[in-house]
Structures are given as structure tokens and as C-alpha cells.
Amino acid sequence: MKKTSYKELGLVNTKQMFAKAIKGGYAIPAFNFNTMEQMQAIVQAAVETKSPVIMQVSKGARKYANPTILRYMAQGAVEYAKELGCKKPQIVLHLDHGDSFETCKSCIDSGFSSVMIDGSSLPFAENIKLTKKVVNYAHKQKDYVTVEAELGVLAGVEDEVSAAESHYTKPEEVVEFATKTGCDSLAISIGTSHGAYKFKPEQCTRDPKTGKLIPPPLAFDVLKAIEKKLPGFPIVLHGSSSVPQEEVDTINKYGGKLPDAVGIPEEQLRKAAKSAVCKINIDSDSRLAMTAAVRKHFAEHPDHFDPRQYLTPARENMKKMYIHKIMKVLGSNDKL
């Protein structure tokens, strides 16, 4: 594939988007996508709510859907948004959890407007070195590509990224890290976690009325300390699906088996969105919305076998979830 700049595809980077979000006290939704239905649902939701949006591609998505196809889908997303009536869509194509300089470079060269280099499992000095290498390459492009870095380790499993335990970001390291690497935003660990099982039952308390798990609160003191050290610097929260109970219940009702799936309460994400947290990553919720709709459809229509019959309600349910996140959790609606 010939080298392409994201501007040729109609995409934008995160620079101005994040600056506006910090000033305005809201966060930009970062939704992962692997399929056409997810892409359509994300674009429809963003256009209807007049929200900027970050479309994220993980290593697993690149393997599943093919990097070239995903790149053209993002270009299609921009044109689709215009067709739906959005004159100037603000869509970022972002690499989620880039694990090497080579992966980041290949995404930048193919037209990504933003990349994440995740060196969080490396020793501090090595994380700085790797992040700086990616930053140098991204920033010297004809069109400036933004770079997200990560400091601190999130627990949980997500597309080949896994860690058994989390380590909160150390506020005293953030200034040195941000200054030495030149990164544009920083993903921190304050108790969010990857996947639909974000916490073990023993980390939670149970609601005596419903028997449902209540997760431990996020470490807002760590976030505050980081904001103090890096005033106005864009902060990112990964692993921030709230694992809606109604979707989990629907999945379990129609033959699924997701006991004790638990996520981050939305009121905590709302609180984070009002701070310097200007990008919140949501992936599992979209998977749950899609799966719940498909399971329900098959239970009610056992004679159906045309994928369009069950993927239409799946797309609708994801779109409903995306609109809810934009308007009720992140506050990024009416910002275009």
C-alpha cells in the first residue's frame, strides 16, 4: 500500500479535539471497531449527536478484518458521515495498544491519524525510549500524527493485551515521562480494567437487594495528583466499559453464560469526563450490545438464517448504546 496521509482520507488527529474537550469538561468517545456494522453504528451515533469520535483499531482487529480493509472502512466512515448530513465530520482513526515501533509506523504510513504505543509493561526508561521513537516518527510527518502513550498497567484481557494485576500510574513519574517522550496524550491506570470481567468478585461488594456485584471505586486521588503535576495535559482512560446489566441479563436469558460480569459505573466515568480525562475507551459494551441483540433475535426467530436479519437489530442496539454513552456519560454531543 502506498504511503498515505490521513488528511487525504478526510480524517483528523486528536490535537484540537482534546484541547476543546479539556476546556469544555467532556470526553471524546473512543469506540473499537472490527466489523462494518460497528462502523455504521458508530458513524450514525456520532452524526445524530453531533459528536467528534475516535474509531479505534486493535491488533486483534487488524488480524481479524485486515489492515487495508480497516483503513478503507475509516475512509468510508468519513464519506458516510457526510452522506448522513454532517458537513465536517471529526473522525480520528486510532491504533489501540500498538505494541511495537513497526506496528505504529505501518499504521501511520497507511493513513492513521493517531497511534498508541503501549510500553507500559516495560521498565520506565525503556517505555520512554520506545515512546519517544514513535513520537519522533509521528510528529515529523507532513501531517502531524498524534501519539498516545501509557504509564501504569491495567489488569484484564483485551485482544492479546493482558495483565494479571494493575499498577496505578505513579504521579511523580508523569512529568518526566511526558516531557522526555513528547507524547500528545497519556493513558493512565486508576482502577479501570480490560474486558467484561473487570474485577474479581472478591474485589467487589455485593448489593444485598439484588445480589449484583458493586466494583471498587476509581482512584480519583491518583487522577487529581496527575492533573496537578500536568495541568491541562490530555489524559486517557482505557478499559472503561460499564458492562450494562440489562445486556448481560439478555445474553444470559437467551442461553449465554456471563456470571458476575461487571464494569465501571457510569457516574464515575461522568466524573472523570469532567476532568482532564478527554478520551474514554469503550469496547466490551459494544460487544455485549451486539451479542445480546443477536441472541434475542435467534431465540425469537429460530427460522432466520440471513445475517442481515439478525445483524440489523445488532447494529441498532450498538447505535443506541453509543448514543447513550455520548449524551449521558461523556458529554461530547453538540460539539461539532
Active site residues: 96
Return left, alpha or beta for 86; rule: phi > 0 is left, psi -120 to 50 is alpha, else beta.
Answer: beta
The sign one gets for the Cα dihedral 37, 73, 278, 59 is: positive
- Grid coordinates in use for 208? 444485598
Residue 75 to residue 60: CA distance in whole angstroms = 20
For 188, list phi and psi in degrees, rounded to 5: -120, 165
* C-alpha gyration radius of the chain: 19
H-type alpha helices, the chain:
15-24, 36-49, 59-65, 67-83, 101-110, 124-139, 171-181, 220-229, 245-253, 266-273, 284-300, 307-324
Say if residues 280 and 273 touch (Cβ distance below 8 Å). yes
- Residue 1 carries which DSSP code? -
For 4, list phi and psi in degrees, rounded to 5: -130, 140
Residue 297 to residue 190: CA distance in whole angstroms = 38
